Amino acid sequence: MTDVIAGASVASIGSASYAGAICVWAGGNLTGVVSETALLRRTAPTYGDHLGSCNHGLQIADVTGDGAPDLVVISSDADAAATGSGEIDVWAAGAGFTGTRFPSAALAVSSAANFDLLGYEPDYGIFPVNRSCSMLLMDVTGDGVNDVIAVAPYADQGSFPDAGAGYVWAGGAALTTGATLAPTATLLPPSTNAYSNFGFRDGFGSAIHLTDFDDDGILDVAVHSNYLGLPHAEQVDFWFGGPGLVGTPAVGTIAASVQPGDKMGPVGGYLLFADVNDDLVSDLVISAPWHSLPGEPNVGNVYLFLGGPATRGGPPAARALLRAATQSNRLSLPRDVDGDGTDDLLVAMPRYSTGPGANDVGAVAWFRGPLALNHDATQLLTAGAVLGRYANLGD
């Protein structure tokens, strides 16, 4: 039977204003005014914790390995190891889920500094409404139990403020002990720089992605970053999943922009993982709307990075461009457009101009699959002049 779960991120808990709480109503014949079955709160709530306040900050998955769904809630503002360092709380599911319930595990970084804000990703909303959290619950260690993966773009690393970091907490029975648990793995980019904000994404969409990029049957962790020491030096770092995802593992491979400043993949809709060359392996397709070509500044382009076993222990993933993707904006999930049994790719180009007086009419580039390196657009789909200049088709 399905239960009802709702957050109250500005609820006061005792003297702790804006600490936040989660209410649970057991499913059944709910009639009239029904009080909560269980009230979930942090063990030591403090002012301004805002438990579960951000988008995607409250998720349900079995992270304890007992087959029952658990509740995992992030509080980026929580005072844990330090003021505003952030914490992720787990409530293991089970019978007798009533009354005031404290976390079955608290996930925190013991070395965190003030305002590391675990899991927080700014999306230019009004605090604390419309905030986003980067947290995923999937198995990346290969033991069949969902793990907890999160980033902290404002985490300090030694003498480098706001360098950023990613973290993995392995799922399992340890998340039922009531203990405060340190990360199983800490994910750091190849170079650490002050204010590089590893894991920060410039716009909407998560900075962390899970995909089996090396085709070994285990999900890998991919973190996209806009700022790594140079302005908009965009890249996607991959850590291969498996039992070796512990401690501070080395980056497995890197998909990097060839042109710093081309804003490779900054916003949701610019990046997708899918099999685009019909080899049953996940590939990375990511657009760079400010990419420049000879004599054509900031016309945009699309990168293709092919996944497969060659990415493990070898050079970075193969890199090439899907040419003629002028001012590429949005990527579609691959679909079979022409009915030949192979998925194709559609790329929206809202600033495409069809001729004099038809500036920024927009168009959609169709790439017939399977895609290959240096793949030209098969066809441009436009609406002619009927939409008028600056129509931005596909925006």
Domain boundaries, the chain: 1-254, 257-395
d(CA 272, CA 255): 13
Question: What residues contact residue 15 under an 8 Å CB cut-off, 6+ apart?
Answer: none
| Structure tokens belonging to residue 326 | 């002028």
Tell me if domain 1-254 and domain 257-395 are identical in fold. no
- DSSP secondary structure string for all residues of 58-79: EEEE--SSSSS-EEEEEETT--
Provide the terminal-to-terminal Cα distance of the chain, rounded to the nearest Å.
42
Contact between 234 and 265 (Cβ < 8 Å)? yes
Tokens of 224: 């996209």
Q: What CATH number belongs to 1-254? A: 2.130.10.130
Residues 6+ apart with CB under 8 A from 378: 344, 366, 367, 368
**Sole residue written with tokens 């098969």:** 378
Do residues 378 and 367 lie in contact, with contact meaning Cβ atoms separated by under 8 Å? yes
CATH number for the domain running over 257-395? 2.40.128
Contact yes or no for 301/322 (Cβ under 8 A): yes
Give the 3-state secondary structure of residue 378.
coil
| C-alpha–C-alpha distance, residues 42 and 48, integer Å | 12
- Ordered per-residue pLDDT tens for the chain, 395 residues: 888 999 998 999 999 999 999 999 998 888 889 999 999 999 999 999 999 877 778 999 999 999 999 999 999 899 999 999 999 999 998 877 899 999 999 999 999 999 999 988 765 443 444 556 789 999 999 999 999 999 998 999 989 999 899 999 999 999 999 999 999 999 998 888 888 888 876 555 678 899 999 999 999 999 987 655 554 457 889 999 999 999 999 999 988 888 877 777 755 447 889 888 888 999 998 888 778 877 777 777 788 888 999 888 665 666 666 654 455 556 777 888 889 888 888 887 777 776 666 667 777 888 888 887 767 677 666 665 555 554 555 55
- H-state helical runs in the chain: none
- Calpha distance 352→354 (Å, rounded): 7
